[in-house]
A and B are shown apart, each in its own frame.
Chain A
Amino acid sequence: MAKMGILIDITKCIGCGACEKACKMRNDLPTGLENNLSATAYTVVQERRPGMYVRRMCMHCENPTCVSVCPVGAFTKTAAGPVTYDKDKCIGCRYCMYSCPFSVPKYQWDRVVPYVQKCYLCADRIAEGSEPACTAACPTGASIFGERDALIEDAKKRIRDNPSRYTDHIYGVQEVGGTSVLYLSSVPFDKLGEPFTMQLPHKPLPLYTWAALEKVPTIVVVGGVVLTGIWWITSRRDEVKKFEERTQQHHWWQAGMKKDDTHKGGERR
């Protein structure tokens, strides 16, 4: 299946919140618009500059940090693009929340059995050949759903056709190795607040960890061999020492006997 994605054109967003409402309805979340992403809001629309609305949601990274850090593999990057969460596997360590570069996963802090909550790109609807509830609800085409490659071409064309309207950057093509959700903006992204102000590397974050993790087998093998070797040497050394002590004692004992012997032996002779 082709990799799908969402293109969010900030210049077209009127801040109506239709996407948020559609998402809440679709996911049986308590109604009422919220200011920030939360366990009950998988997407929100925030006015970051006068008349400039930024829609936040999970970026569905190509090489997602959350998938890599979760100790039990509760997250999956599906072939179609969505990053999904398996609430039964999750143990609630919240490493995904701590490390997600876009601070997307949210938690049910008030529950006795809490789960992580985030947008899952309506993976079930995509699997049925349909589109996410939020893009379907967007009245202006500020959020559109499609194949990621096609969306990138579309975005490039918009910038080309209208260079005065857009800043020349498609956010999400290269950030942390690419994301399935892409943004277009009229002002440079570092003027739009978090997470865009953060200097994100183009290298996928999981590779930073892998640089250390890939050394584990080497440490185990080399460590095992070296430690066993040292133990073998030190125990040999101790054995040799013991043996020498014993032989020295023997000499001394013999010498002692000889002293006696000269006395007694003389008699014997």
Chain B
Amino acid sequence: MLFRIPKITLWRIIIAVIVTLGIYYTVIRYTRGLGAVTNLSDKFPWGLWVGFDVITGVGLAAGAFIIALAVYIFRIDTYRPILRPAILTGFLGYSLVAVGLLYDLGKWFDVWHPIVFWNPHSVMFEVAWCVMLYLSVLALEFSTVVFERLRLNFLKQAIHLLIIPLSILGVILSTLHQSSLGSLFLIVPSKLYELWYSPYLPLFFFVSAVSVGFAMVTMESFLSQRFLGKGIELNLLNGLARVNVLVMAFYLTIKILDLANRGVLGAVLSLRFESVMFDIETMVQVIIPLLLLLIPAVRTSARGLFITSLFIVIGFIMNRLDIAITGVEASSGTSYFPAFGEIAISVFLVTMGFLAFAFAATYLNVFVHVQKKEETPVEIIHDV
């Protein structure tokens, strides 16, 4: 037989449907304009694609810079096995953000304009540059894995020489744009609901990105273990969860202090739609995960850590969507719910991300075993 008919499974059918819809709406978006696919309007110019694909996507990919910081700068070698999966997620995540932007920008073919037309007063300009540069950093960091596979050892070594400056650059760029995504909203004090609008938005965005970065690494590891049989050791995930407890506790503390400071703590108890959303978001993103991690049985089981991380990730997504969409609905004088086409494209992009991750994890040496520690980059740097 020349052709082998692939096995038809439920998952494959679902993926086929998602991809077909994705392609269909892509064609419509590029031939008939934003209005034909989205529920966006003059009153509501930013929707799911900005809120989820771009703003949330960048946050979900934050794991890469934290683990790179731990391994290359602090040289905590125990976390080395997490490095490659984290950088892969980062690279794929930021690539998807770039693709998402191509859908959302009205004049997507001019996406390169910030390179030549500068406006240093614009947060968006700063974010554009940081994301552009950081995507290059991630590509270089991850290229070592590809070179290794292609047995292009001299290239791999060449990049290893640069790995420390690259990581330092990556950490700085990430700190800047993760917080700047929060700064995007500093300019709408009269539009964004009072529970979310705060002069400390940049700090909140940064700290919550760090927290969700840990959670994403944990989730990926669990899922890879299940579906690909490759993952990270439990004690490492446990260590990440411990650090995350500190990060989340810090986040919760500064959030409460900020609310109290601005005198809007009472709004938390209001039954306004926004307040309820704020409460749910805070519960899911921080309070429930913190409580769960207090339970030893949760902390020490892969499933427990996975579920905790799932809460953090969902809460994080809610937080970003609340700020970009829910929080400005009242002042916009209209309501917005994404059109089917918007959802289809977002789901399509996320699915592509998962497939790319699975592909890379299968064919590249992403989950390195601890025994291979001698070959790891820092050692090579020492020898060079």
**Docked CA distance A230–B189 (Å):** 38
- Size of A's binding interface in residues, CB under 8 A: 61
A192-212 CB mask vs B (1 if < 8 Å, else 0) is 001000111100011011111
User: Which residues of chain A are within 8 angstroms of B72 by Cβ–Cβ distance?
Assistant: 231
How many inter-chain contacts with C-beta < 8 Å in the A-B complex? 174
- Given A72-B113, A209-B186: A234 in contact with B75 (beta carbons within 8 A): yes
Mostly, the B contact residues are helix
Q: How far is the CB of A81 from chain B (nearest CB, A)?
A: 19
Q: Give the most central of A91, A95, A112, A219: most B CB within 10 Å.
A: A91
The answer, among A106, A111, A208, for a CB contact under 8 Å with B189, is A208
**Docked CA distance A67–B187 (Å):** 12
Q: A92-B110, A212-B183 are in contact. List 10 more A-B contacts (CB 8 A).
A: A97-B45, A110-B35, A199-B190, A205-B188, A208-B189, A211-B186, A212-B180, A220-B176, A231-B75, A238-B75
**Docked CA distance A95–B72 (Å):** 36
Contact B121 A210 (CB under 8 A): yes
Contact sample, A vs B, 25 pairs, CB 8 Å cutoff: A36-B42, A68-B119, A69-B187, A70-B119, A73-B122, A89-B113, A92-B106, A92-B108, A94-B106, A98-B328, A107-B42, A109-B35, A112-B31, A114-B33, A115-B106, A205-B189, A211-B199, A212-B123, A212-B186, A213-B126, A216-B126, A216-B176, A223-B175, A234-B73, A238-B75
- Given A110-B35, A114-B106: A69 in contact with B73 (beta carbons within 8 A): no
Listed from nearest, the 10 A-B pairs whose CB atoms lie closest are: A92-B106, A109-B35, A73-B119, A71-B124, A97-B45, A72-B117, A71-B125, A94-B45, A234-B75, A92-B107
A256 at the interface (CB under 8 A from B): no
Contact B187 A206 (CB under 8 A): yes
B159-181 CB mask vs A (1 if < 8 Å, else 0) is 00000100010011001100110
B151 at the interface (CB under 8 A from A): no
User: Which residues of chain A are within 8 angstroms of B3 by Cβ–Cβ distance?
Assistant: none
A1 at the interface (CB under 8 A from B): no
A127 at the interface (CB under 8 A from B): no
The answer, among B40, B106, B190, for a CB contact under 8 Å with A200, is B190
**Docked CA distance A254–B328 (Å):** 74
| 8 A Cβ contacts from A84-101 to B | 89-95, 97-99, 101
Q: How far is the CB of A1 from chain B (nearest CB, A)?
A: 23
| 8 A Cβ contacts from B64-79 to A | 69, 72-75
User: Which residues of chain A are within 8 angstroms of B46 by Cβ–Cβ distance?
Assistant: 94, 98
**Docked CA distance A213–B75 (Å):** 31
Contact A37 B186 (CB under 8 A): no
- Given A109-B40, A213-B123: A201 in contact with B333 (beta carbons within 8 A): no
A interface residue numbers (CB < 8 A to B):
36-39, 65, 67-74, 89-95, 97-99, 101, 103, 106-107, 109-115, 194, 198-201, 205-206, 208-213, 216, 219-220, 223-224, 227-228, 230-231, 234-235, 237-239
The answer, among A67, A107, A194, for a CB contact under 8 Å with B45, is A107
B260 at the interface (CB under 8 A from A): no
**Docked CA distance A109–B191 (Å):** 22
B331 at the interface (CB under 8 A from A): yes
Which size bracket describes the interface of B in this complex? Answer: 35 or more
B202 at the interface (CB under 8 A from A): yes
**Docked CA distance A106–B184 (Å):** 20
User: Which residues of chain A are within 8 angstroms of B108 by Cβ–Cβ distance?
Assistant: 91-92
- Given A110-B33, A198-B331: A71 in contact with B74 (beta carbons within 8 A): no
The answer, among B35, B120, B186, for a CB contact under 8 Å with A208, is B186
Closest B-chain residue to A116, C-beta based? B106
User: Which residues of chain A are within 8 angstroms of B126 by Cβ–Cβ distance?
Assistant: 213, 216
Contact A72 B114 (CB under 8 A): yes
User: Which residues of chain A are within 8 angstroms of B146 by Cβ–Cβ distance?
Assistant: none
User: Which residues of chain A are within 8 angstroms of B35 by Cβ–Cβ distance?
Assistant: 109-110
Contact B106 A201 (CB under 8 A): no
User: Which residues of chain A are within 8 angstroms of B340 by Cβ–Cβ distance?
Assistant: none
| 8 A Cβ contacts from B327-347 to A | 328, 331-333
User: Which residues of chain A are within 8 angstroms of B243 by Cβ–Cβ distance?
Assistant: none
| 8 A Cβ contacts from B103-139 to A | 104-108, 110-111, 113-114, 117-128
User: Which residues of chain B are within 8 angstroms of A98 by Cβ–Cβ distance?
Assistant: 45-46, 188, 328
User: Which residues of chain A are within 8 angstroms of B172 by Cβ–Cβ distance?
Assistant: 219-220, 223-224, 227
Q: How far is the CB of B193 from chain A (nearest CB, A)?
A: 13
| 8 A Cβ contacts from B14-53 to A | 30-36, 40-43, 45-46
Q: How far is the CB of A175 from chain B (nearest CB, A)?
A: 10
Closest A-chain residue to B201, C-beta based? A212
Contact B42 A106 (CB under 8 A): yes
